[in-house]
Amino acid sequence: MTERAAPSSIDPAEVAKFQAMAREWWDPQGKFKPLHMLNPTRLDYVTRQIAAQFGRDLAAPRPFQRLTLLDIGCGGGLMAEPMARLGATVTGADAAEGNIAVASLHAQEQCLPIDYRATTAEALAAEGLAYDVVMALEIVEHVAEPSEFITTCRDLIRPGGMLIQSTLNRTARSFAAAIVGAEWVMRWLPKGTHDWRRFITPDELAQMTEASGLSVVDRCGMVFNPLGWSWSLSHRDLSVNYAMTALRPA
């Protein structure tokens, strides 16, 4: 009897976009410049949420030792690498094989033992794998079925574990910033990288997350200041980029 392949929320067209840009991941002035600029703020949010949930001291040398973490849609490893340096046992998964090749090589150069896999969340769930923390950063707006993808993320979380997502709100400001600004004017990203119609409001994301059986405990905006050319966290302004944390009941 032939085994049926695990269903996938992967959108091949979206994967192809990032496969084409794979070699650019670690160029801070290249096509992923916006993520390089945003990364310290994303890291600040993620580490605070993990530390609060698991009672870890961020001032310790390797505060996330003995925690397992899955970075779904890891790209070139911009978040996976700092999480490994903080002591977490990290698995990075991406459907674009080119991303995984770049991420693996860079991790080897940095002597970081990250388990990178060219695979999908659904395939990992089918293996029965589970983690303390699942990160799905800047990915939910690129999958074919966001609600099904989030349910798969839930299946990959251990009881008492957490899901941290980040994405783009569907507002006029997000269209101006992420598409007009980043793609058309600054040309940081190729035109067509984002589809504004696929952006997800915080209420929509929270509803899908809660429907999967997770409990949303935090929403936070990531706000760009063009005058200071810097990013900051804000629990009041979620109009463009934002992150959300949810817990799986113990």
Annotated binding residues for S-adenosyl-L-methionine: 42, 73, 94, 137
CA distances (Å), 154 to each of 23, 70, 116, 220, in order? 31, 12, 20, 20
CB 72 within 8 A of CB 135: yes
Maximum Cα–Cα distance across the chain? 62
Task: Give the C-alpha distances (Å, rounded to integers) separating 237 from 131, 171, 207, 224, 234.
Answer: 30, 12, 19, 10, 6
Give me the DSSP letters along 15-56.
HHHHHHTGGGTT-TTSTTHHHHHHHHHHHHHHHHHHHHHHT-
User: Residue 131 and residue 156: Cα distance in Å, rounded?
Assistant: 6
Cα–Cα dist 17/9, whole Å: 16
Binding residues: 42, 73, 94, 137
Is there a contact between 83 and 71 (Cβ–Cβ < 8 Å)? yes
Measured over the CA atoms of residue 53, residue 57, residue 59 and residue 64, the dihedral's sign is negative
